Amino acid sequence: MLEEMELRSEMICVCRKLESRGLIAASDGNVSCRAGEGRLLITPSGLPKGELKESDLLVVDLQGNRLSGEGKPSSEVRMHLAVYEKRPDVAAIVHAHPPLLTAYTLAGLPFMADALPEVWLTIGPVPTAPYATPSTEEVPRAIAPYIEKHRAILLERHGSLTVGKSVEEAYLRLEKLEHAAKTLYYAFVLNQYHPDPLPLSALRKLEALKS
Ligand SMILES: [Zn+2]
């Protein structure tokens, strides 16, 4: 495992990417990773992710009690704890509010991970957990049936949860999914709408301009 200072800088790097690539806004989302026996590093509640510093990150135990750092740990700490408890193989979690993936849940559409071979190979199925009040015990309850067998879960009307063996891996899975969501969206739009070509008379006028 990386040293704690390296983990902190990896987390800050991912927080900046979440903000700069439009996968969250302001203080949305949260990031955590394992940082030694019984310890997690987690983002603080209420601070904009794009402006976080390494020293803003908190250390909590596996019950969510703060061991070091200022302020309060992320309000979604219980969601993170529920995943770490069931998945010893998971070392990091990224929760974000990616616009298109979240829009799929608003539209009531399942995310078609099986439509794109690379998504299916590297991430696999991506279920949508039913709506739960953010930052409450309802969230870990809503995702509970999906934690053990998935690398990514969508949260209805809320956002995404991706896991990995590192913060970078959990982040890249999110980036890949939002990109795939765009491709699926374009395919959907193109299927619905075929633009008409210009009328022959208009094309002839263009031809005349060429000569
Ligand atoms: Zn959220």
The DSSP code sequence of 53-116 is -GGG-EEEETT--EEESSS-B-TTHHHHHHHHHH-TT--EEEEE--HHHHHHHHTTPPP-GGGS
Q: How far does residue 114's CA lie from ligand 1's centre (Å)?
A: 25
pLDDT digits (tens, 9 = 90+) for 61-109: 999 999 999 999 999 999 999 999 999 999 999 999 999 999 999 999 9
> Model's pTM, two decimal places?
0.92
Superfamily holding 4-210: Class II aldolase/adducin N-terminal domain (3.40.225.10)
Which amino acid, 176?
K
The four Cα atoms 17, 18, 21, 27 give a dihedral, to 10 degrees, of -120
Q: How far does residue 43's CA lie from ligand 1's centre (Å)?
A: 12
Q: How far does residue 174's CA lie from ligand 1's centre (Å)?
A: 14
Interhelix angle 4-20/167-192, rounded to 10 degrees, is: 20
Strand partners, 153: 161
The residue annotated as part of the active site, out of 19, 76, 175, 178, is 76
Task: Give 59-68 contacts, CB < 8 A, sequence gap 24+.
Answer: 59/35, 62/38, 67/39
- Residue 155 is inside which H or E element, if any? strand 152-155
The verdict on whether 76 is a catalytic residue reads: yes
Q: How far does residue 164's CA lie from ligand 1's centre (Å)?
A: 18
Quote the pLDDT of residue 27: 92
The domain limits of the chain are 4-210
Q: How far does residue 77's CA lie from ligand 1's centre (Å)?
A: 11
- Compute the chain's Rg from CA coordinates: 21
pLDDT tens digit at each of 211 positions of the chain: 679 999 999 999 999 999 999 999 999 999 999 999 999 999 999 999 999 999 999 999 999 999 999 999 999 999 999 999 999 999 999 999 999 999 999 999 999 999 999 999 999 999 999 999 999 999 999 999 999 999 999 999 999 999 999 999 999 999 999 999 999 999 999 888 788 889 999 999 999 999 7
Which amino acid, 78?
R
- Residue 147 is inside which H or E element, if any? helix 138-147
